[in-house]
């Protein structure tokens, strides 16, 4: 079957549908469950019809003694930025000075921008090469170039991501990118940070409430920033290419030296939403757009509540959602994307008198 498709990082191309999708979907799932005194979570991810898996996720019940961290990262143009965020973003939040001072919102914002900073230069290039499986482990080369050894002060560089000399010291960062939707739960407070079109939803007494905004280029606030930065929107895409207005990575859209990181055509700047949890809050869902393309927030909440009457294992509920969303036949539309979902169910809320 030959069709015209509009790809990320490009214009219209005439391709066989089999060029971007598989003949048979990969329905094997990577799932996990966990719980502590206050929360239970389950998660699942599935490659589906896509030729590669570009989603990543993070689930850390005990980021510290009173805090849990969950994140969904939906890559585009490759998997490396999503994997980089899954590996490092929660670490940067935890060591951020604002976090240590109790300002979780600021620590989240600074950590999103920190991902872009860390992916630049020699060390960033090398780390992305490792995550992208491009290293020849037998001869120590990356894409045909000699491995640049760490300096003698490797521990200091590990802590600070200091500049390293090497063949890619001027690396501006990856042209691929990733969404990031993160939820931090501390006692009775929920903090959500989002850049892109992954989404976080809370179920409060059966009603779905969006805790994030899908950052599409056609949104007025996004369009204004894109145009001021020298870009344009065509067919709902930044410069006719990228279907998101905010993302980590995508450095080709962040090259205006006269603008701050917040004002670039595409920015990693997250929306931060803080919610006071109450006894009516049942669960939250974080998921990539492979889920939201198929189900509205309320439809997903209704489906999850129904499944929770039949199934106690939360990862199994996530797996049923993925199966529900998977397209029955190969198409270019809904149900063919990678899918990742995290379901976090609240136990008895911590006492409001607990320290923040």
Residue with tokens 């409001």: 352
Give the distance from CA 336 to its chain's centroid: 18
Q: Per-residue pLDDT tens for 93-103?
A: 999 999 999 99
Confidence of residue 138 (pLDDT cuts 50, 70, 90): very low
**pLDDT, tens digit (0-9, with 9 covering 90-100), for 171-184:** 999 999 999 999 99
pLDDT for res 296: 97
DSSP state of 27: E
In whole angstroms, what is the distance from residue 79 CA to residue 73 CA? 10
Pairing of strands 12-16, 21-35: unpaired
When pLDDT is cut at 50, 70 and 90, the band that residue 154 belongs to is very low
d(CA 286, CA 340): 8
Burial degree of 264 (CB within 10 A; 0-12, 13-18, 19+): buried
| Mean pLDDT computed over 128-136 | 73
CA distance 155 to 145: 24
Q: Where are the domains of the chain?
A: 25-120+172-346
Average pLDDT, rounded, for the chain = 87
Q: What is the pLDDT of residues 270-294, one digit of tens each?
A: 999 999 999 999 999 999 999 999 9
Size of the chain, expressed as the number of residues it contains:
356
Q: What percent of the chain has pLDDT over 90?
A: 77
Higher pLDDT, 188 or 147: 188
pLDDT of residue 161: 76
Q: CA-to-CA distance for 316 and 323, rounded, in angstroms?
A: 11
pTM: 0.87
Give the model confidence (pLDDT) of 57-110 as tens digits. Answer: 999 999 999 999 999 999 999 999 999 999 999 999 999 999 999 999 999 999
- Residue among 173, 174, 180 nearest 197 (CA): 180
**Taking Cα atoms as reference points, which of 72, 117, 78 lies closest to residue 90?**
72
pLDDT band for 50, please (50, 70, 90 cuts): very high
> Is a pLDDT exceeding 50 seen at residue 142?
no
> Rounded distance, CA 119 to CA 85, Å?
10
Residue 199's SS3 state is strand
- Tell me the two tokens of residue 355: 């320290």
Per DSSP, the three-state class of 121 is helix
Average pLDDT over residues 189-194: 98
Question: Does residue 308 have a pLDDT over 80?
Answer: yes
Please return the burial class of 159, using the count of CB atoms within 10 Å of its CB with bins 0-12, 13-18 and 19+: exposed
Please spell the DSSP secondary structure of 247-267, one letter per residue. Answer: -EE-GGG---TTS-GGGSSSB
User: Is 143 or 193 the better-scoring residue by pLDDT?
Assistant: 193
| Token couple for 135 | 């290293």
What's the mean pLDDT in 330-338? 82
Task: Answer for the pair 189, 71: CB distance below 8 angstroms, yes or no.
Answer: no
Q: Which residue has the tokens 């998997």?
A: 79
**Sign of the CA dihedral running 214, 44, 320, 344:** negative
Q: How confident is the model at residue 12 (pLDDT cuts 50, 70, 90)?
A: very low
CATH homologous superfamily of domain 25-120+172-346? PPM-type phosphatase domain (3.60.40.10)
Separation between Cα atoms, residue 197 and residue 103, nearest integer Å: 25
Which secondary structure element, helix H or strand E, spans residue 181, and what is its range?
strand 180-186
Give pLDDT tens digits for 210-230: 999 999 999 999 999 999 999
């Amino acid at each position: 079957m030959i069709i015209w498709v509009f790809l990320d990082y490009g214009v219209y191309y005439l391709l066989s549908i089999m060029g971007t999708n598989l003949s048979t979907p990969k329905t094997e799932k990577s799932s996990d469950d966990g719980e502590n005194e206050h929360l239970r979570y389950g998660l699942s991810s599935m490659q589906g019809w896509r030729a590669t898996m570009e989603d990543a996720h993070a689930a850390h019940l005990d980021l510290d003694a009173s805090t849990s961290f969950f994140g969904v990262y939906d890559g585009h143009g490759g998997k490396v930025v999503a994997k980089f965020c899954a590996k490092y973003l929660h670490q940067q939040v935890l060591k951020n000075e604002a976090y240590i001072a109790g300002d979780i919102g600021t620590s989240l914002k600074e950590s999103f921008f920190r991902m872009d900073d860390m992916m630049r230069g020699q060390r960033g290039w090398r780390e992305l090469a490792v995550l992208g499986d491009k290293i020849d482990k037998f001869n120590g080369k990356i894409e045909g170039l000699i491995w640049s050894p760490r300096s003698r002060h490797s521990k200091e560089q590990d802590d600070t991501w200091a500049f390293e000399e090497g063949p890619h010291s001027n690396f501006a960062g990856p042209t691929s990118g990733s969404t990031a939707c993160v939820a931090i739960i501390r006692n009775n407070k929920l903090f959500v940070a989002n850049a892109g079109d992954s989404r976080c939803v809370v179920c409060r007494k059966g009603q779905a409430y969006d805790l994030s905004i899908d950052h599409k280029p056609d949104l007025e606030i996004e369009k204004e920033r894109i145009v001021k930065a020298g870009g344009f929107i065509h067919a709902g895409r930044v410069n006719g290419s990228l279907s998101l207005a905010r993302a980590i990575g995508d450095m080709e859209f962040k090259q205006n030296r006269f603008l701050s990181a917040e004002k670039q055509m595409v920015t990693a700047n997250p929306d931060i939403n803080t919610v006071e949890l109450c006894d009516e809050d049942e669960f939250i869902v974080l998921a990539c757009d492979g889920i939201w393309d198929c189900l509205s927030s309320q439809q997903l909440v209704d489906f999850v509540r129904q499944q929770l009457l039949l199934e106690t294992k939360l990862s199994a509920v996530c797996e049923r959602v993925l199966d529900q969303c998977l397209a029955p036949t190969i198409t270019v539309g809904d149900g063919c994307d990678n899918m990742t979902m995290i379901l976090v169910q609240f136990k008895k809320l911590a006492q409001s008198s607990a320290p923040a």
